[in-house]
Amino acid sequence: MTAPNMERTAQAYIEANRTMDLAVMSELGITQDDVKELQTIDNATVEPGYFKDVVLEEDHQAVRVFSKPEELSQYTLVEGNFPTAENQIALSPSLQASYQIGDTFSIKEPDKNATVLKETAFTVVGFVASSEIWDNVTMGMASSGTGQLTGYGVVLPSVFQSDVYMIARISYDDLTKLSYDDLAKLSYASQAYTEKLEDHKKQLESLVTDNDEQRIASIQADGQEGISKGEQEIAKAQQELADAKKDIQEGNVQLATGWEKFARGRAKIIQSESELRLAYATLLETKSRLEASKQQLDESKKKLDQTKSFLDASTAELSQSAQQLEIAQQELDKQNAQLNVLGATISSGRNAWFQEQNDLNTQVESQVQEGESLSDYPELLARQEALDAEKARLDQLDTEFEQAHAGYQAGFDLLQSKKAEYQAGQKQYEAWNVE
C-alpha cells in the first residue's frame, strides 16, 4: 500500500469511527456544568465519558477501562460482541493472547483516587479496536500497576458510579463535514488540519481555563457548610453541658465547703510524707549516679573515637531520610485532597437524597389513602426503592471514606513520628559535629 493510499485508509477509518479531534480531562472531574459550557461551542459535537486505570488481579498489569461512547471515538468490533450488561466487557486486541470469549476478567481498582466501578469481575464478550489507541504495544502511561498500559476494555457507562465525568471528547464540524475534494486538502495528516486543530485548541483552553478553580471553590463551599453545621451542633451540646455542670456545682456547693477543711489537713500530712520519701529517694539516686559517673567517663572516650565514622554515615542517612519524608508528605497531601473531594461528594449526595426523600414523603402523604400502601402506587414505590438504594450507596461511601481517613491519619501520625525522629537525629548530628 502506497503512502497516499495508507493516508486515505487511515482517514476513512477515523471518519467511520468519528474519532475525536480534542478532549478535555481534569483530575477533579468534569461536572454537568462543565459539559454545558463545552456544548456552547459552535458547530461541534461534545460527548462526556468515563475511564479508570485498574490492575489485573493475577499479575497487577495496568489496564484502562473505558465507558462505551455513543457517537465519538467509536470502537471497531474485532471479534464477538459489544457489552450489553454491566458484568460484560470487550477487550483490546493486545489481550487476545491471554483471554478468550467467555473467560472471567478480574481486576482490582486502586482506591487512591476513589473507587468508581460497580463490578470487579466481568465476562469477556468480545474484542474491539480503539480509534484513539492505534499501537497495541506502546499504549501510553497508566496511573496504576506498572505505570505502563498493557491493554484496555470497554464497558457500559452505567458500570461507573461517579458524579463527574473523566473525559469530554469534542469533534468539530469544520474538520469532519467536508466534501471529498475538501477532505483531500484537509486530511488528518495535513498541515492545514493541524493548524485548524491548533486554533480550536487555543479557543478551548480559553473557555475552560478557570474551571478547575471554580470546581475547587465549589468543593470548599460544600465542605464549609458541613463544618458550620457541625460547629453549631457542638456549640449547642457545649451549652447544654455547661448548664448541667452549673446545676451540679450549685447542688454540691455546701458539700464541697464541708470537705474543704478536711482535705486541706489531710493534704498537708500526705505532702509531708511525700517530701520525706522524695528526699530519701533523691539520696539513693545521687549515690547511684556518682557510682555510674566513672563508668560513663570511661565509655565517653571510646565513643569519641567512634564519632568520626558515625558522622560520615549519619550524613548520608539523614539526606536519604529527608528525601523519604518529602515523598511521604507529598503522598499524604495528595491523599488529603482526594479525601476532601470524596467528602464533598458524599455531602452533596446526602443533601440531594434528603431533599428527594422529603419530597417523596410529602407526595405519599397526599396520595396514599388509608388502607393503601406504596405497592398500590408503582411509581412511588419505585422512587422509594431508588432512594433506599442511593442511601445504601452513600452509607457505603461513608464507610469507605472513614476507612480511607483512618489510613490517612495513620500515615500522618507515622510521618510526624518519622519527622520527629529525623529532627532528633539532625540535632544529635549537629551536636556531635560541633564536638
Neighbours of 291 (CB within 10 A): 9
pLDDT for the residue numbered 178: 47
Asked if residues 391 and 403 have their Cβ atoms less than 8 Å apart, the reply is: no
Cα–Cα dist 165/363, whole Å: 32
Cα–Cα dist 147/55, whole Å: 10
Cα–Cα dist 333/314, whole Å: 28
Q: Per-residue b/e over 274-283, b at no fewer than 16 CB within 10 Å?
A: eeeeeeeeee
164 DSSP assignment: S
pLDDT for the residue numbered 127: 97
pLDDT for the residue numbered 273: 67
Sign (positive or negative) of CA dihedral 214, 216, 222, 227: negative
Q: Which residues of the chain have pLDDT under 50?
A: 1-7, 9-10, 178-185, 219, 221, 223, 227
Asked if residues 170 and 22 have their Cβ atoms less than 8 Å apart, the reply is: yes
Residue 128 belongs to what H/E stretch?
Answer: strand 121-130
Instruction: Take residue 395 and report the three cell numbers written for it.
Output: 452509607
pLDDT for the residue numbered 180: 37
The amino acid sitting at 392 is A
Residue entry with cell 479557543 = 203
Cα separations in angstroms, 46 against 34, 73, 109, 319: 11, 11, 28, 50
pLDDT for the residue numbered 313: 74
In DSSP terms, 90 is beta-bridged to 126, 154
Sign (positive or negative) of CA dihedral 242, 247, 248, 250: positive
pLDDT for the residue numbered 131: 86
Cα–Cα dist 87/323, whole Å: 44
The amino acid sitting at 63 is V
Cα–Cα dist 308/326, whole Å: 28
Please calculate the CA angle 27-33-38 and round it to the nearest 5 degrees.
85
Residue entry with cell 431508588 = 386
pLDDT for the residue numbered 112: 63
Model pTM above 0.75: no
pLDDT for the residue numbered 352: 92
